[in-house]
Amino acid sequence: MDKRESLHLILLAVALFSIAYIFFANAITDVYVTIENGAPVLVQVTEMYSVVQVLFLMLMTAIGTYSFIYLYRSLNKIANHSKKQKLAAKILEGDELRLYHLILKKRECLQKDLVFESKYPKAKVTRLLEKLNRKGLVDRKPYGNTNKIYVK
């Protein structure tokens, strides 16, 4: 899970918690009603929400919906890989698997970006890419001082 997905997950949790808090904290209030004989009767009624609370609920709903859609789409990107890519992901282990997932997310990327995102040394990324290339999972093409990596 990358930083954006983590941020959206936190935003979704905050939005859901805020909505639930407003709905359930102010949900029912006690009202005493006096009937003709003068005896007060306790009645529980739902409380009306203020304009500020309604606007806050609308904002939290919008944020929660946006975060949910973002997370849903990012999970679908991973789920929509081809059979070969899914099989490869099951066979790979450790650092190869992590690097392959980074490449799959982007479909094509620069090798220097993989070094930055994976936080692996350049030599390790080069060795891992050579292994993935030999297995027929990725393709490397020279691109300036670096390589462009493609998913096969």
Residue 64 to residue 3: CA distance in whole angstroms:
17
Dihedral pair phi/psi, residue 121, rounded to 5°: -65, 160
For the residues 78-83, what does the mean pLDDT come to? 64
In CATH, the number for domain 83-151 is 1.10.10.10
Range of weakest confidence among 23-27, 64-68, 99-103, 125-129: 23-27
Beta bridge partners of 149: 109, 140
pLDDT given for residue 57 in this prediction: 92
Answer yes or no: is pLDDT of 83 > 70. Answer: no
Answer yes or no: is pLDDT of 1 > 70. Answer: no
- Chain segment 40-50, per-residue pLDDT in tens: 888 777 777 88
Provide the token pair at 112. Answer: 């220097």
Please state the pTM of the whole predicted model. Answer: 0.52
Instruction: Return the residue matching tokens 């941020």.
Output: 7
Query: Where exactly are the structural domains of the chain?
Result: 3-79, 83-151
Mark out the alpha helices in the chain (DSSP H runs).
Answer: 3-25, 51-79, 83-91, 94-106, 111-118, 122-134
Q: For all residues of the chain together, what is the average pLDDT?
A: 85
| Residue 120 contacts residue 95 (beta carbons within 8 Å) | yes
